[in-house]
């Protein structure tokens, strides 16, 4: 565990401390895992009303230049030529062996692109993609320290945000964004998130983040808005079957194994890792990331073994006792032959195999996220 003296702090650190948050090391930062309300209350607030997250640890890289699109196309797996100005796209970064360096979101602005990467990987990612800048003649700038990122998530998110902005929020569809002002603060207002609920991610100048944080909590408090920490962020994303880098994704895994083949466009032309993925697709995939639910009471956790026909055959990458569903759900790598929904598996908890079945996420199907 990192020494507290070496941990970075987001621009909202003092706000978390003032609210009595429990702060823990995460991605090199000291981050709130929960507030005095507790993880379960925060989780339910996001599902029923709204929660406000500090995700300023995420990395933001700007790409500029005439061949910026070609550069982004080369270093990511999805087809960014399909991305319009004002649109965002999910994708992955690979090494030359087709293994996952990170997953990311690509934003296309009128004059530049922005790559949003995981906080724990941002230095590694920057070094990796920097090597391709000369080839395409682009400028790559790390804007992480300049930008704070607030995530307002939940069915009441738009109602809360509408009171602080003149932006036409109805016009911002899922995975679209607009540039505007929120309480007078310049912002990128993006209809994205990691919870399965409707909501927005607000990219704002770091110097203005604390004021906006306080303002959003004040405006949304009567509607049930709570500050929300990493604990419920994890349970919310898990109920949706959203992968987390470091748990479900890593450098030993390809996107095809991780169920992310839908963001790999082999027909778009050459890109980093393409040849390796094409070979793997042709030869077949030995293991796959699947969702599962327990048939009996239990709490599946990261690292627990998976048993199939009495033999250890995989490992749990993420698991939770779902606050919304009241049952254990999670994700695990299993042999490809056992990846079909309905397959019976066991999750070994305290030495005993708890019966489970492979299911196709999301586990929680009542989310309010407004997909087109």
pLDDT, tens digit (0-9, with 9 covering 90-100), for 119-152: 999 999 999 999 999 999 999 999 999 999 999 9
> Do residues 61 and 53 lie in contact, with contact meaning Cβ atoms separated by under 8 Å?
no
127: which residues sit within 8 A by CB, 6+ positions away?
none
What is the distance between the alpha carbons of residues 177 and 228, in angstroms, rounded to a whole number? 23
pLDDT for position 112: 98
Residue 2 has pLDDT above 70, yes or no: no
State the pLDDT at residue 284.
96
Architecture of domain 59-142: 2-Layer Sandwich (3.30)
Residues 6+ apart with CB under 8 A from 74: 132, 135, 136, 270, 271, 272
Q: What is the mean pLDDT of the chain?
A: 96
CATH of the structural domain 4-56+146-240, one choice from 3.40.91.10, 1.10.3720.10, 3.30.1360.120, 3.40.50.720: 3.30.1360.120
Summarize pLDDT for 19-47 with one digit per residue, the tens: 999 999 999 999 999 999 999 999 999 99
Domain segments of the chain as ranges: 4-56+146-240, 59-142, 286-359
Quick one: DSSP state of residue 57? Answer: T
pLDDT of 1 higher than 50: no
What CATH architecture is 286-359? Beta Barrel (2.40)
Please state, in angstroms and rounded to a whole number, the distance separating the CA atoms of residues 187 and 183.
Answer: 10
């Amino acid at each position: 565990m990192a020494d507290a003296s070496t941990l970075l702090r987001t621009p909202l650190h003092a706000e978390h401390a003032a609210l009595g948050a429990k702060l823990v090391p995460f991605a090199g930062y000291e981050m709130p895992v929960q507030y005095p309300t507790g993880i379960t209350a925060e989780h339910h607030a996001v599902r029923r009303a709204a929660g406000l997250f500090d995700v300023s640890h995420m990395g933001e890289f700007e790409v500029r230049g005439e061949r910026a699109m070609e550069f982004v196309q080369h270093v990511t797996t999805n087809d960014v030529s399909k991305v319009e100005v004002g649109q965002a796209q999910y994708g992955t970064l690979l090494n030359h062996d087709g293994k996952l360096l990170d997953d990311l979101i690509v934003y296309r602005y009128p004059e530049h692109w922005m790559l949003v990467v995981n906080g724990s990987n941002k230095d590694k990612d920057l070094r990796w993609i920097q090597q391709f800048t000369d080839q395409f003649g682009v400028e790559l700038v790390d804007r992480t320290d300049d930008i704070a990122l607030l995530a307002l998530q939940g069915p009441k998110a738009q109602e809360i945000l509408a009171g602080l902005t003149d932006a036409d929020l109805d016009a911002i569809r899922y995975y679209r964004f607009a540039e505007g002002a929120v309480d007078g603060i310049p912002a990128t207002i993006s209809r994205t998130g990691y919870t399965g609920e409707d909501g927005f991610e607000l990219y704002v100048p770091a110097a203005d983040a604390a004021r906006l944080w306080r303002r959003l909590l004040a405006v949304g408090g009567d509607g049930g808005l709570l500050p929300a920490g990493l604990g419920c962020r994890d349970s919310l994303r898990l109920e949706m079957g959203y992968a987390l880098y470091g748990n479900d994704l890593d450098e030993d895994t390809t996107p095809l194994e991780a169920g992310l083949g839908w963001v790999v466009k082999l027909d778009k032309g050459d890109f980093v890792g393409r040849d390796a993925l094409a070979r793997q697709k042709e030869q077949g995939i030995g293991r796959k990331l699947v969702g599962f639910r327990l048939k009996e009471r239990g709490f599946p956790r990261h690292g627990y073994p998976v048993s199939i026909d009495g033999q250890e055959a995989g490992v749990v990458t993420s698991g939770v006792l779902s606050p919304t569903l009241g049952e254990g759900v999670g994700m695990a790598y299993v042999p490809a032959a056992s990846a079909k929904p309905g397959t019976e598996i066991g999750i070994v908890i305290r030495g005993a195999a708890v019966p489970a079945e492979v299911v196709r996420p999301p586990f929680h199907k009542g989310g309010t996220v407004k997909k087109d």
